Structure 1
Amino acid sequence: MDTFSALACPLDGEPLNQSGTCWRCPAGHSFDVARQGYLHLLPVQKKRSLDPGDSKEMVAARQRFLNAGYYRPVAEAVSKAVMPGNASDTRLACLDAGCGEGYYLRQLVAENPEASFSLMGLDISKWATLAAAKQDKRPRWVVGSNANLPVLPGTLDRVLCLFGFPVYSEFARVLKPGGILIQADAGPDHLRELREIIYPSLKPEKPPAVDVPEGFLSLGTETIRYSLTLESQEAIADLLAMTPHFYRAPAEGRVRAETLETLAVTVEVTLRRFVRDSAATTTTPR
């Protein structure tokens, strides 16, 4: 597996070149690799807060939960969607845009041991990127934003956006013609049983959007749905802490969840695949 290196300066979009532990663009903008191995490409002037993205505690909860295998069927479906049929001799450059602590990229490699990958994981949370770098040194882990991907145009075969914030114009810019975007979103019944416990009432859930983004063609939709039983207070707490519901739920709802010793929940994920339209041209101003 190769480490993805077609990086762009987040300030001017020019190519970045590595010299030791530093990456520089022709204009002289310089970015140092952290001692833990990740690269910070989110300029201060493009941050919306001092410490954007998931907190250290949220990342740790997600890492424990995912490493326990509860979402492995989702990871397996994503891995199958990435690969071109059964071919394992094709080198694929793949970006996980909103990679969290890197679980899905690690599973992609584990599910396809004979494949040749050039991998990059990007997240706006430095805590997520740090956790990813500690677990696997092989991909390129980058702190950055989906709104301004520090990636050169037309250099990726695959982009993953899993439970994240899609910026389709940027995805179209960095994908090669014929490259594939794989997007995962929560379905209407995802974690419904947990939501029924923590909220006074449930609003009707809207299904994921069916519109095809500009610059793409649809390759179809798949639903991953299964039941999951959590048999410890720790696992239930981790599930709640790793989702936005932890901050949205009222305090009394979180207390109700904390008293549970077991919980059976529905996992429902909508997986959509789009191909970059080779006839379309997409430019994104910096």
Structure 2
Amino acid sequence: MGITPFQALACPLDGEALIRSGNTWICPDGHSFDIAKQGYVNLLPVQQKRSHDPGDSKAMVAARQRFLDAGHYQPIAESVSNAVLSHAKVQTVDNLPFSCLDAGCGEGYYLRQLADAAANSPSLSLMGLDISKWAVLAAAKQDAKHSPLSSWVVGSNAHLPVQTETLDSVLCMFGFPVVSEFARVLKSGGALLLVEAGPDHLRELREVIYPTLKPERSAEAEVPKGFTYHSSERVSYSLGLNGSKEIADLLAMTPHLYRASAEGRARAATLEMLVVTVDARIVVYTRI
């Protein structure tokens, strides 16, 4: 039992296996990537960036950290941890650690919750990846408060810097799934957990910031290529937010901050209390 950082990283430039030498990751062709003093490595080459500073901003990351640390999404974290650990008990063989990637890990909340839940479970090998350097920096800083539990990597879901067929599980939490890449890095029988917003997710907030709500899409999604459907679970509950700061943090950590008009954001800023519905759907697929 125990938690260890995931080691099967791949060079983002040529896909070759990376080998750690001191505080540097090196591939056979000589490409090298230094581990920052905070404990993360940047494997996002310039040619994979769509902007100078992609992903969530420093302010968005700080808002998400405050909101999640307050426990507002704890029921989601518990359900995700239970799903991962149930697969770990079934799939762990030959005493090898069960490896799990959080693809779009933000500031690392869900991996930390998973590590805490795994005290009496099989060994885990964890990696958190995000395209935002601010998110990965925040995750690594919090991880460093105790012994490092995970590999923290700046990288893109579209080009995962992970060796092929080396992962037992991939999480994608309210993120941007790239199913072809997830299929590549997962072992046969590995689990893909997609956490998506349900039709009522944050409905009350959306009713404040938007003039009208768009019709909801069908909840029935196609099974991704290379996978079979395993199971799904809905996590739904009411959440009371007290004070304009908590409401502002919730808005700041969602895409609604940019989608809403200035008028919509101004209406949200006047609120001192809001009860919102949290509605998430956890769908599990198995790699063929």
The two structures have a TM-score, normalised by structure 1, of 0.94
1:109 aligns with 2:120: no
Q: Tell me the SS of whatever aligns to 1:147.
A: coil
Structure 1 residue ranges (4+ consecutive) displaced by more than 6 angstroms after TM superposition: none
Letter in 2 for 1:161: C
Give me the whole-angstrom Cα distance separating, in 2, the residues matched to 1:33 and 1:208. 41
1:94 maps to which residue? Answer: 100
The aligned length equals: 277
Work out whether residues 89 and 114 of structure 1, in 8 Å CA contact, stay in contact via their aligned partners in 2: no
1:77 maps to which residue? Answer: 79
Work out whether residues 185 and 208 of structure 1, in 8 Å CA contact, stay in contact via their aligned partners in 2: no
**Match among 99, 121, 130 for residue 128 of structure 2:** 121
Give me the whole-angstrom Cα distance separating, in 2, the residues matched to 1:274 and 1:141. 25
Q: Tell me the SS of whatever aligns to 2:89.
A: coil
Give me the whole-angstrom Cα distance separating, in 2, the residues matched to 1:170 and 1:85. 20
1:197 aligns with 2:208: yes
1:168 maps to which residue? Answer: 179
CA-atom RMSD, angstroms?
1.4
Cα distance, 1:209 vs structure 2 = 4.8
Work out whether residues 235 and 279 of structure 2, in 8 Å CA contact, stay in contact via their aligned partners in 1: yes
1:218 aligns with 2:221: no
Letter in 1 for 2:23: T
Q: Tell me the SS of whatever aligns to 1:122.
A: strand
**Match among 221, 236, 248 for residue 237 of structure 1:** 248
2:65 maps to which residue? Answer: 63
Q: Tell me the SS of whatever aligns to 1:148.
A: coil
Q: Tell me the SS of whatever aligns to 2:29.
A: coil
2:272 maps to which residue? Answer: 261
Cα distance, 1:86 vs structure 2 = 8.6
Encode CA deviations 1:116-147: one digit per residue, 9 max, x unaligned.
11000000000000000011132000000000
Work out whether residues 87 and 191 of structure 2, in 8 Å CA contact, stay in contact via their aligned partners in 1: no
Work out whether residues 187 and 207 of structure 1, in 8 Å CA contact, stay in contact via their aligned partners in 2: no
Encode CA deviations 1:191-221: one digit per residue, 9 max, x unaligned.
0000000111111121445100000000021
Encode CA deviations 1:203-261: one digit per residue, 9 max, x unaligned.
11214451000000000211111110001111101000000001110111111111111
Q: Tell me the SS of whatever aligns to 2:211.
A: coil
Work out whether residues 61 and 253 of structure 2, in 8 Å CA contact, stay in contact via their aligned partners in 1: yes
The two structures have a TM-score, normalised by structure 2, of 0.94
Cα distance, 1:88 vs structure 2 = 9.2
Query: How much identity, in percent, do the aligned residues show?
Result: 65
Give me the whole-angstrom Cα distance separating, in 2, the residues matched to 1:89 and 1:107. 20
Cα distance, 1:89 vs structure 2 = 10
Q: Which stretches in structure 1 are left out of the alignment for 5+ residues? A: 278-286
Cα distance, 1:85 vs structure 2 = 6.1
Give me the whole-angstrom Cα distance separating, in 2, the residues matched to 1:123 and 1:207. 28
Letter in 2 for 1:39: V
1:281 maps to which residue? Answer: none
Q: Tell me the SS of whatever aligns to 1:84.
A: helix
Letter in 1 for 2:63: A
Cα distance, 1:35 vs structure 2 = 1.1
Q: Tell me the SS of whatever aligns to 1:83.
A: helix
1:133 aligns with 2:140: yes
Structure 1 residues 31 and 85, CA, compared in 2 at 3 Å: closer, same or farther?
closer
